[in-house]
Amino acid sequence: MQQLLQKTSDELRLKYYSKRTIKSYLQCLTDYFNYKKNDWKHLDVENIRSFLLEKQSRNYAPQTINLYLNSIKFFYREIIKSSYKIDLKFVKRSKKLPVVLSRSEIRNIIQAIGNSKHRLLIALSYGSGLRVSETVNLKVNHIDLDELTIHIQQSKGKKDRITIVPDKLITDIQNLIAGKKSDEFVFASERGGQLATRTVQKVFENSLKKTGIKKNATFHSLRHSFATHLLENGVDVRYVQELLGHQNIRTTQLYTQVTNPRLKNIKSPL
């Protein structure tokens, strides 16, 4: 089993999958291999179906079941080189609306952070619509304060994009990066290396707790809020799509359901 998992890991790295995806695929495959028990190289569609149905019966989320199916398909297609198609349909994702924080809630979260570097980290993540991975990977030479832009390099889907920098953060950013080399991380750890994504998420979670906000928000809610607030300001959805780096406009249009002014102007009959 370990040899097959190592081969899968090597192939995923060769295809430039993210560390997070590689870890998830290997965990899913380990789970499936333990379920199948032996003869892992033999593709058994009915066995895969039973495995996924067992996950479904245990109330696994549709996204998680899709992840299991993707990892199994990758293994048999890329590692075993099987020509047999795994003809199983993907589970439909639940269409949940994103959790969006109001402008005042964002302000309260930022103000509740005592550490100036962490305060800037959260402010910039919201003000530029950054994913947590993009925040920890941000380097000095990615930021152009003259043009007020950030060049996000090789992010999700291995795509580059340009996003904006809030002008009110210029001085704080200048102070933070003063004396740093161009290839150094903007938000470095205490030892000078890259911050862990969990550390950044914890900063947000601790601040959210301090404010007493009851919404089920995560660090990614900063990005959701960035998109929603831009649309509320009248920015065209296609520009928002570019700033977020969405490949499909339908992904961005989800935010229009959160910010529909016509719905918000309707008064309850009560």
Residue positions annotated with a catalytic role: 131, 156, 220, 223, 246, 255
Domains of the chain: 2-79 (1.10.150.130), 103-264 (1.10.443.10)
Q: What is the mean pLDDT of each run of 10 residues along the chain (270 residues)?
A: 92 87 94 92 91 90 90 93 83 76 96 96 97 94 95 80 95 95 92 90 96 95 95 91 88 80 75
Q: What is the pLDDT of residue 193?
A: 86
Model pLDDT, residue 136: 94
- The pair of structure tokens assigned to 83 is 């020509």
Q: What is the rounded CA–CA span in Å between residue 133 and residue 138?
A: 9
What is the pLDDT at residue 94? 61
Task: Please give the Cα distance from 186 to 144 (Å, whole number).
Answer: 13
Burial class, 261, CB count within 10 angstroms (exposed 0-12 / middle 13-18 / buried 19+): exposed
CA distances (Å), origin 212, targets 105, 127, 204, 209, 216: 10, 22, 13, 5, 11
Q: Tokens 């998109």 — which residue?
A: 227
pLDDT attached to residue 157: 66
**Strand bridging mode 143-144 / 161-164:** unpaired
- Residue 249: the pLDDT is 86
